[in-house]
Each structure stands twice: as C-alpha cells, then as structure tokens.
Structure 1
Amino acid sequence: MITAKDFAAGITTGFLATLIFTIFFAFYATEINIDFLPELSKVWFKEYHTGEGLLFFTVAIMGFATTVVLTLAFMQLFKSSNNLK
C-alpha cells in the first residue's frame, strides 16, 4: 500500500535533485563553459536580452514539474493490485 509518506519521499527527492542540478547547471553555464549559453539559443539571446536568470528559472520549473509527474506515475506503477485471481 502506498501512503502519503511515500509520496513525500518522492517529492522531496525530486525537489532536492532539481535544486542540485539547477545549481550545477548555473555554475557550469556561467563559470566553466562561458560560450554554452549563447550557443544554446542564438536567437533568444540576441533578440530578447533576458539574461541567464530566466533560463535557470525555466530549468528549475521543468525539474519540479517532472518531479510531480514522475512521482505520481511511479506511485501508480508500484501500488499493489486489488485484482487477485
């Protein structure tokens, strides 16, 4: 049986992984490979002038959304069946 504790574990793990990846991505894109962001989307950085912050925010939001969807999907996958033959 899947409980709220299992859901909380999935959400916590996913959010933590998203935060770690977002911090790593921000560090990599701004300090290690400086040419990465302009090459990622040439049109975006030339026409909109939004900067790196919006990209890092988008990466974080995508990670949080993926966390919720995958947690719910895995809960359905691993729940016990009531259809015993």
Structure 2
Amino acid sequence: MVKDIQLVANDLKLYFRGFEVALNKSNIDDSIRYLKDIRRELNDNLDYLQAKQEASEVQDVLKRILKESLGDYKKRIRRIEKELKRH
C-alpha cells in the first residue's frame, strides 16, 4: 500500500510542477488542464486506495476470527484427548 501511495504522490508532484510552470508562463489553459489532471488523479486514486484499505481491514478481521477459532478448536481437541486417555 505504501508503494501505491508513493506512486500517486509522484504523479501529483509532476502535475503540480506542470501547474506551477504554466502559471509562471501565464498560460491559463495549461494551468486549468493541470488542475483538472490533479483532481482526476486524486479522485481515481482515492477510490482505489480506499478499496484497498477496506480489503486490508477485512483481511485483518478474518485473520483475527481464524486465530480465535483455532484457539477454540485446540481447546476442544485437548479436552477430547483427556477424555480418551481416561477410557
């Protein structure tokens, strides 16, 4: 996820640099185009990164549930083993 964020940041830096150059040259059309590119880049990548973050959070919850379930099964197995030793 960190690499994805770094890629987005690099793209935004490039667009912002283009925006600055266009402003310094008083090129309004290019300035507006770069601002639109920045907005598009932000919108597209925010959706992508949020989906990736949500998937990561779901995966963490599933891991926790699996660990808890494994713990329960281990306890059950120990109880069954004790009962089998008694018989």
- TM-score calculated relative to the size of structure 1: 0.42
Which of the two has higher C-alpha Rg?
A: 2
Larger fraction in helix = 2
TM-score, normalisation: structure 2: 0.41
